[in-house]
Amino acid sequence: MSFVNTSASSSSSGSSIPSSPFTSSPGPSAARATILCGLKSGEFVLVEKADTSSVWKSFAKVCCTKTKQPSGYVQCRNCFSLYTFKTGSATTQLKRHDCSNARHASSTDTEKPAVPRSTKNEVRDSCVDLCGRDLRPFNNVEGKGFKGLCQLLVNVGAKHGEVDVKDLLPSRTTVARHVADIADNLRAKFVPEVKAAINERCCSIDMDLWTDRYTKTNHLTAVAQ
């Protein structure tokens, strides 16, 4: 079992905590308040129970931080509800716990708008047109940069509605002028990391000399690893 901290709310020692069998409703108010205050102060911790039952993905045992002994309570990880639970008791009632927070999180994470097949076919045809019209390689549509641009455009459309792409995309001159700015920003970000690695003697630098076949320009590249 592994111990994890939690932030719930409550005050006193584990000696006043009942070790009663599981009930389908939270325990007495005073005992629950003690547990919650103990969780907040660090007197109690949530313990991940190694068990095959799916219920323990949502619940954790409340144990005394010093003695690691169970307090007789378990807590829902999503809504922080407390229930009395004795080791060895059945988990049937725990499975009946109605947690609105868990349902909301699940629906937020899994529900995505379905894209109709017809729309996917339109995107496919547009990719073919891109490669043919602009003489681009087929693997261009698999590039991270291309996908990042497409995702940004999708997000812009979702936020601002239908827009004319001509008013959105920059010209090649603007892109060329901005390359140096992006490079400077990336350099400022990575230079401290490279310096730190060099100072710790855990960095190697490889030199590569190459020539642009079209402009016949010589380049010297230094790669830090």
Per-residue model confidence as pLDDT tens for the chain (225 residues): 444 444 443 334 444 444 333 343 444 567 778 888 888 888 888 887 766 677 777 888 888 888 888 888 888 878 877 887 777 677 776 777 777 655 554 444 455 668 888 999 999 999 999 999 999 999 999 999 999 999 999 888 888 888 898 889 999 999 999 998 998 998 888 888 888 888 887 777 788 888 988 888 898 887 777
HSE at residue 155, side-chain half, CA atoms within 13 A, is: 6
Q: Return the pLDDT at 193.
A: 83
Question: How many C-beta atoms surround the C-beta of residue 22 within 10 A?
Answer: 18
Residue 182 and residue 201: Cα distance in Å, rounded?
Answer: 29
Q: Return the pLDDT at 146.
A: 93
Q: Return the pLDDT at 52.
A: 63
Residue 17 and residue 34: Cα distance in Å, rounded?
Answer: 8
CATH architecture of the domain 116-169 equals Orthogonal Bundle (1.10)
Q: Return the pLDDT at 103.
A: 52
CB 84 within 8 A of CB 27: yes
pTM: predicted TM-score of the whole model, two decimal places: 0.41
Nearest of 33, 53, 43 to residue 6 by alpha carbon = 43
Domain positions in the chain are 2-107, 116-169
Determine how β-strand 82-84 pairs with β-strand 218-224: unpaired
Nearest of 11, 64, 72, 58 to residue 36 by alpha carbon = 11
CB 25 within 8 A of CB 61: no
Q: Return the pLDDT at 224.
A: 72
